[in-house]
Chain A
Amino acid sequence: MAAFTAALRSGALINGLRASFRTLPPVKYGAVAAAVPPTNLPRGCRWSSASALSVKERIDHKRKTALCGGGQHRIDAQHKKGKLTARERVELLLDPESFVESDMFVEHRCSDFGMEQDGNKFPGDSVVTGRGRINGRLVYVFSQDFTVFGGSLSGAHAQKICKIMDQAMMVGAPVIGLNDSGGARIQEGVESLAGYADIFLRNVMASGVVPQISLIMGPCAGGAVYSPALTDFTFMVKDTSYLFITGPDVVKSVTNEDVTQEELGGAKTHTTVSGVAHHAFEDDVEALLNVREFFNFLPLSNQDAAPIRECHDRSDRLVHSLDTIVPFETTKAYDMLDIVHATVDESDFFEIMPNYAKNIVVGFARMNGRTVGIVGNQPKVASGCLDINSSVKGARFVRFCDAFNIPIITFVDVPGFLPGTAQEYGGIIRHGAKLLYAFAEATVPKITVITRKAYGGAYDVMSSKHLRGDVNYAWPTAEVAVMGAKGAVQIIFRGKENQAEAEAEYVEKFANPFPAALRGFVDDIIEPSTTRRRICRDLEVLASKKQLNPWKKHANIPL
């Protein structure tokens, strides 16, 4: 809580904003809005409710004003920063002419610090809200308008967001938030804080009901960061977006660290170091177009099945390149992404967190047109071992897929959990448990392909048969064992001679898929080239899978 208040107090941005409002001449449209009633209306009927004409004119005028946000010069300033305006963003994100706006007339209700003046009122306040369609599919959107009070969050602003979120929950449609806000509206004080909390509550209530996506397209600091953090996916725009609890100034005064905004909370930091954001895009246009693509993968709600798109890639296509992808030397790396790209429809893979915890690969793809979630160990990075970050990354993705009926396909090549004090002290036990928990509780169709190593506890974790895997395959190169031959031999034949011979015997016995296949822990040993064909067929069968976990208020995942 200390940090939270510090952020608000620190908000150099917000203070600056207030200052600027005092010094700037009245905004063009604001000024006109204030001047309209006296000049255009005959004095006698000014207060008469019967003048339909004047109301119509006022409506038109308010609408026109709302469309201009904070005024042309602020729009220009926004453009100069390489950013689009709130409305341009909505327009680009949604299908042409599909946007239906709500609450265009809402204004803030603050009457302190001169905020009650007409010049400080903007129809719609600092957020654009409404619904629209992406490729014809319903979505609710809010887009914070930096040109109005720096996009700061007022009570009215929060109320507008809550309204569309409530409706999205009711009809079962995703919510996309386009964040570009300096933070709380300081003039409003606690009302602004209440607004944040209202949004947080709705984020939590909507979690697992409808997909929620946050796209950070400008500053997002202090308490505001918790809304994106509660949503399913957070995307950022490179160089223009920041996410942090406290800005560089406060960091300097509290911990005496010198750090820039970009280093502290830029897209690169959050997509590579902290794992807060799931993807970063070059610029606004790129980001919005990619979110459209991303949206195509998602079901509208937890009542909706994973979407199926017309598929031009033959579901029975044999992928011969997979027959040679796993190197003969078990210590040699290969790229799990090659397997993913070769297997899924049209090599179209939307990777989530491509630059964070790269030893696990997660993302969305399609099999025979149907959206699937892909999880794969990446032998190219840290041998594909599981560590704290990769477990958390994988767990969160698996839970999203399970919440929204998206089948999970897991490619396993895992030598085990990463040993070491750093991992143990960091709590690999409880973090590793998250991935185990996520796979175990998932009731969506689960298909697992062991491409090479499946060693130790990590084998159990990676969507094994024992965790209710529906179909578990092994490639001929698979080795399901407690550990690698060398380590095993050192334990079994401790102090004995002829270690090399023993090792060869161990390899012969265990470094192959037979021990697991004999016991039914894998359903079949398949030629790699047939992987796609088999998964597509299995998914068809599993489409009608019904599985329920025992009733509970909610489960208690080891957080």
Chain B
Amino acid sequence: MAAHRLSPSLNRLLLAGKYASFWTRCCAVHGYAQYSTACSPNEKTFDKILIANRGEIACRVMKTCHKMGIQTVAVHSDVDASAVHVKMANEAVCVGPAPTSKSYLNMDAIMDAVRATGAQAVHPGYGFLSENKEFAKRLAAEGVAFIGPDTYALQAMGDKIESKLIAKAATVNTIPGYDGVVKTVEEAVKISQDIGYPVMIKASAGGGGKGMRIAWNDEETREGFRFSSQEAASSFGDDRLLIEKFIDNPRHIEIQVLADKHGNALWLNERECSIQRRNQKVVEEAPSTFLDAATRRAMGEQAVQLAKAVQYSSAGTVEFLVDSNKNFYFLEMNTRLQVEHPITECITGLDLVEQMIRVAKGYKLQHKQEDIPINGWAIESRVYAEDPYKSFGLPSIGRLSRYQEPLNLSNVRVDSGIQEGSDISIYYDPMISKLVTYGATRAEALASMEDALDNYVIRGVTHNISLLREIITHPRFISGDISTNFLPEVYPDGFKGHQLEADSRRELLAAAAALHITAQLRSQRRAPSVATRCPCVKVEVDGQWNLASPLLPLAINGTHRMLQFKVRVLSKLAAQLNSYMPEKVPEDTSSLLRSPMPGAVVTVSVKPGDSVAEGQEICVIEAMKMQNSLTAARQAKVKSVHCKPGETVGEGDLLVELE
């Protein structure tokens, strides 16, 4: 087995040399990232670090390593063999096949890779093994540094039940709830009734919204318990659950802490992460518009108290729920580098990865609390490969046939681990990148974000840029009036896309017409010169008219706009004649249950001939580690079943046909 794994790794070592020039290119592109690019050359840390992760976070960590002159080792699954993080690393080792449980969660293989490459430390990124005390222990046993807190803190904070007890003891505000593991469905119902609905059921070992369900009554508690334990088992290998009071309409604000091994700890201000869907963050900003200096200090100090109580070292995040009266409750502590850490780096100027590496080596913190500034404002949008028109984002997969990050703009940082030609597969998180913009004020950062989203070119997969752009331009968001219920409140019927106003519709039509004419003229080989006229209003459209570019910068009535579109313009004649064309009748879909996303079938609860009631569960599809229950749209008899558990299905695949 070991030999089997070693031979691809040797192969990879050979290939690493071939792609050396790639790193140079990457550096040049990302050279102006908004965190400290300087580091003290005299502080000797490690010679070689293995990054036990993939995607953007692996690339992010490698950037800092290379800045600090540290050699990097990537691990990867076989489908990731040509991923960006693999090319970026100085060495790479294949640790198994695509499923995470066999590769990125495969401790034996990763330990082998550590030994084979002689890495002195391991950075776990987030997710995967980042909060796994077993992994940290095994590294420690072999004298390899784990870049994160020590096993005691991991254990204490990694368990939500224990962490709550410790927080209480450290006089940190906590949410009312049941302090213990819930073992059975009936127990869950009883506890929920005791606490009072609504309640939140979540995985004891969880994080990132996985294995988390809200229940408003007994029935939902039972269903939630079942789902959460399955999800928890598949995501974390630990199906223990806990239940607590669910605070309705709260804000999610978290404090970044940084501590060393000498008992020093700092709070690096807050991140506002209230814009979420299905408990996963979508847009984050730092600082929060909601906190005043006193609340910030109080939260920061409690966070530091907690960190000290568990002898925390390295970077960590203390998450709080904040209600409308600025009461805050400890939610959990994430004992790792957080996805949204870049916005903290932007406003503080610290390189958190560099600090983590220093601390892991045993150095003392360089800063004092009063040295930690809030400089300007930073916003992060999580760009996902998902369809925002389906419950604010259901995963989509595909190959990025065209991909261009808006790095031509200033004050933009893009953390990504993919490039043109990369595949977004069903095996891993569908995040494409983290788009971060920075400004002296919130308004400036928001304006940059709008520009950056307009300039972002993603083709080949469905993405959520349209939703992100709607959020950051929504009056409620701009005024800072947000909560974790923002999306369902603003779009009660789901996201339907941008609603055009008359003016912008005219402008777009004019631009489309101009583009069409340009293409027509080119076909006739005449020089393009365009002035478009709409029936009532004159709209001047001027531009570069490069028909090959995915981005079309236009001046519409003197306003500069960045457009991306594919137009189908009909001539007047064609439009008239089009009215004779028959409407193609789409198939009746109420009797067909199709997969809303690519994924794997977990269970099928019906067989042909069964009668199902409206809303009854028909099957469960797991995609990107989320379990989605598909239900009958109406009462009917099952005609045929076209899927079976364990099968992989694509988006739109027929699963079950009703009569």
Contacts and interface: CB of A to CB of B under 8 A. Distances in A.
Interface of A: 79, 82-84, 88, 91-92, 96, 135-136, 239, 282-286, 289, 296, 309-314, 320-325, 328-329, 335, 338, 341-342, 345-347
B584 interface: yes
B421 A324 contact: yes
A335 B460 CA distance: 13
Contact of B581 (A82, A310, A328): A82
B492 interface: no
B520 A135 contact: yes
A346 B547 contact: yes
B504 interface: no
B574 A92 contact: yes
Given A321-B421, A322-B421, A328-B78, A312 B584 contact: no
A475 to B, nearest CB: 13
A365 B402 CA distance: 18
Given A309-B523, A312-B546, A347-B402, 13 more contacts: A79-B580, A88-B577, A92-B574, A96-B571, A283-B581, A283-B584, A285-B570, A285-B574, A285-B578, A296-B523, A310-B525, A328-B81, A347-B401
A239 B403 CA distance: 38
A471 to B, nearest CB: 24
13 contacts: A84-B577, A92-B573, A92-B574, A286-B581, A289-B570, A312-B546, A312-B547, A320-B419, A321-B422, A324-B422, A325-B421, A347-B401, A347-B402
B369 interface: no
B401 A135 contact: no
Contacts of A84: 577, 580
Interface in B372-402: 399-402
Question: Which of B421, B573, B578 has the most CB atoms of chain A within a 10 A radius of its CB?
Answer: B421
B548 interface: yes
B420 interface: yes
Interface residues of B, number: 32
Contact of A328 (B82, B402, B403, B522): B82
B582 A239 contact: yes
Interface of B: 78, 81-82, 399-403, 419-422, 520, 522-525, 545-549, 570-571, 573-574, 577-578, 580-582, 584
A92 B523 contact: no
Question: Which of B402, B523, B570 has the most CB atoms of chain A within a 10 A radius of its CB?
Answer: B523
B401 A341 contact: yes
A346 B546 CA distance: 10
Contacts of A323: 82, 421
Contacts of A83: 580
A312 B521 CA distance: 13
A335 B423 CA distance: 12
Nearest to A95: B524
Contacts of A347: 401-402
Contacts of A329: 78
Nearest to A308: B525
A310 B522 contact: yes
Contacts of B402: 347
A320 B522 CA distance: 28
Contact of B400 (A289, A321, A328): A321
Contact of A136 (B78, B422, B524, B570): B524
A276 B594 CA distance: 33
Contacts of A345: 548
Contacts of B400: 321
A283 B570 CA distance: 14
Contacts of A79: 580
Contacts of B399: 335, 338
A338 B580 CA distance: 36
A136 B401 CA distance: 34
A320 B420 CA distance: 7
A328 B577 CA distance: 51
A278 to B, nearest CB: 21
A328 B548 CA distance: 31
Contact of B584 (A135, A282, A338): A282
A136 B522 CA distance: 11
Contacts of B422: 321, 324
B87 to A, nearest CB: 9
A137 to B, nearest CB: 9
Contacts of B546: 312
A270 B639 CA distance: 31
A91 B571 CA distance: 11
A79 B580 CA distance: 6
A309 B525 CA distance: 7
A341 B577 CA distance: 32
B584 A324 contact: no
